Chains A and B, each alone.
Chain A
């Protein structure tokens, strides 16, 4: 894994895909892409292609799992077998189970769960193609799908990773940087409230580097947040035009 096949940062300080250290990959977001779901969103970030759908609020089965004072938020993060180089078994891996949990916990602080007691809301995330930092891209899409479903929220959750690649702190790691880089720090953030809702890290960083990475990731989240708002407006503005 640590065997370097190519330089990740060139002499001009540009990254393997030509980006500057603090530059995001190209992002395309579309809201309301699935007709059966109550809310949905599709996002492309670099070569990441991810679909998120929300079903609910609905009755919870089995009923004994329902909570008297709030909704139960459930989340499934799943990768398509063809989303990665070597075919991935469709059965949920330990990684997918952990990610489903941390993604749910990243989204939950944004949702007014107490508005819908005894109900369930399901978030389904399908990674159609993976290109590094999929958990962040998934959170960005999932929070838009929730908003599209009309679930009351405190804020949108935007997510972005930062990391260390060849002694440089960089934003939004792609697949190669994620695998060969020294460290990966995924962050989810609610910009209006100024709080972090997902924070993980693996690799080795000094506390100064870690602080720098978290702050850089938050800057990335702010940029993604602006794109999320535009994507939501794009859907609802166009609906309005049709009605008039």
Chain B
């Protein structure tokens, strides 16, 4: 246990009592997001990029495009790969080394939202069926951890994909030749992840670090532009009643619509 988590345990009672009254330590209401700031196209070497600030949480995403082989079961589709790095400069709890279960879960939850909502038209990324397709690498880079990495990463990944430029190309004797100019990546849906923390049997939206450290359980609900659910993930060693889950779904739909409206998606 680090010193930071000990301090939070001391505050645990205060945070929980406030939440019981519908208030939070940082002044937000239970379903309020922190301020969202987005910068895009900030890494010139990447085909697409974005940085999202969610309060003090800071996540950068870079998109790189390469050519590669399709999966045998989807010969006509490009490949989407999402990876997350919890880089050690972002938090005293992040250690250098191969991805741990937290970064793998983060990457896979963001991946599921993009993949299952069919946000990218992968069929348009096929060059030669069964042989050559475009591979989209979405690399999530957490720069500062102050809670709710999933929502920040999902927003950053979608923003980066939306400003991704694909080089124009032509196929000559099975070889890809790059032509001048760029076209945008075929993005057609805008999945938004909304994460809840359960503290003292109440749900709060967009938990920050101290709330995450004392929460019983976490629930992420990703919805698409039509309000359909495309990914759900429960995390943490607690539980939810079915009623809480269905309540969260309704709030997630409202919150995602608000965010989409604000970002013009």
Contacts and interface: CB of A to CB of B under 8 A. Distances in A.
A150 to B, nearest CB: 21
A10 interface: no
A200 B232 contact: yes
Interface stretch (A33-41, A129-137, A167-175, A189-197): A189-197
B148 interface: no
A204 B116 contact: yes
A48 to B, nearest CB: 21
A239 to B, nearest CB: 32
Contact of A203 (B74, B108, B230, B234): B230
B236 interface: yes
Given A190-B239, A195-B241, A202-B112, A207 B227 contact: yes
Interface string B1-13: 1000000000000
B contact patch SS: mixed
A197 B115 CA distance: 25
A54 interface: no
A109 B105 CA distance: 19
Contact of B229 (A194, A197, A204): A204
Contacts, number: 103
Contacts of B233: 102, 199-201
Interface in A177-199: 185, 190, 193-199
B117 interface: yes
A105 B230 contact: no
A94 B229 contact: no
B249 interface: yes
Contacts of B59: none
A89 interface: no
Given A100-B101, A202-B116, A207-B249, A196 B229 contact: no
B179 to A, nearest CB: 31
A207 B257 CA distance: 14
A196 B112 CA distance: 21
A208 to B, nearest CB: 10
Interface string B152-176: 0000000000000000000000000
B228 A206 contact: yes
Contacts of A108: 237
Contacts of A67: 1
B85 interface: no
B98 to A, nearest CB: 10
Given A102-B235, A196-B234, A1 B74 contact: yes
A144 B227 CA distance: 38
A199 B219 contact: yes
Interface stretch (A118-126, A209-217, A228-236): A209-217
A223 interface: no
B34 to A, nearest CB: 25
B73 A204 contact: no
B42 interface: no
B101 A204 contact: no
B238 A109 contact: yes
A207 B112 CA distance: 17
A98 B241 contact: no
A3 to B, nearest CB: 9
Nearest to A110: B239
A94 B107 CA distance: 10
Contacts of A206: 227-229
B106 to A, nearest CB: 10
A94 B104 contact: yes
B239 A94 contact: no
Interface in B210-243: 217, 219, 224, 227-242
A131 to B, nearest CB: 18
Contact of B234 (A190, A200, A211, A215): A200
Given A199-B232, A201-B230, A204-B230, 4 more contacts: A195-B239, A199-B234, A201-B229, A214-B245
The 5 A-B pairs with the shortest beta carbon distances in the complex, nearest first, are: A201-B232, A108-B237, A195-B239, A199-B234, A101-B101
25 contacts: A1-B74, A94-B99, A94-B104, A98-B104, A101-B105, A101-B235, A104-B237, A105-B217, A105-B237, A109-B217, A109-B239, A185-B232, A196-B245, A199-B219, A199-B233, A201-B230, A202-B115, A205-B228, A206-B228, A206-B229, A207-B227, A207-B229, A207-B249, A210-B232, A211-B246
